[in-house]
């Protein structure tokens, strides 16, 4: 767990699935669908028992590349 805490502490702007959903204009279920079905969707930086965390910059970059953000 210490390694996970260290990784989280180094994250600049961690995002939960709810945060990702808001950014993309979808639901948390929509994010779950992307995780399972879109091979281009970024893997979470951390996968915790309570949920996944992504780096904001990685999600923003992906969203711009696929046309989900301008």
Q: Return the domain boundaries, the chain.
A: 2-65
Q: What is the pLDDT of residues 45-68, one digit of tens each?
A: 999 999 999 999 999 999 999 999
User: What pTM value is reported for the model?
Assistant: 0.87
pLDDT of residue 5: 74
CA distance linking residue 7 with residue 68, whole number of Å: 27
Does domain 2-65 match CATH 1.10.1660? Answer: yes
């Amino acid at each position: 767990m210490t390694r996970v805490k260290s990784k989280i502490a180094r994250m600049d702007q961690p995002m939960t699935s709810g945060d990702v959903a808001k950014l993309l204009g979808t639901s948390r279920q929509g994010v779950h669908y992307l995780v399972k079905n879109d091979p281009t969707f970024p893997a979470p930086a951390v996968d915790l028992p309570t949920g996944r965390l992504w780096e904001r910059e990685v999600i923003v970059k992906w969203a711009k590349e696929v046309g989900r953000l301008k």
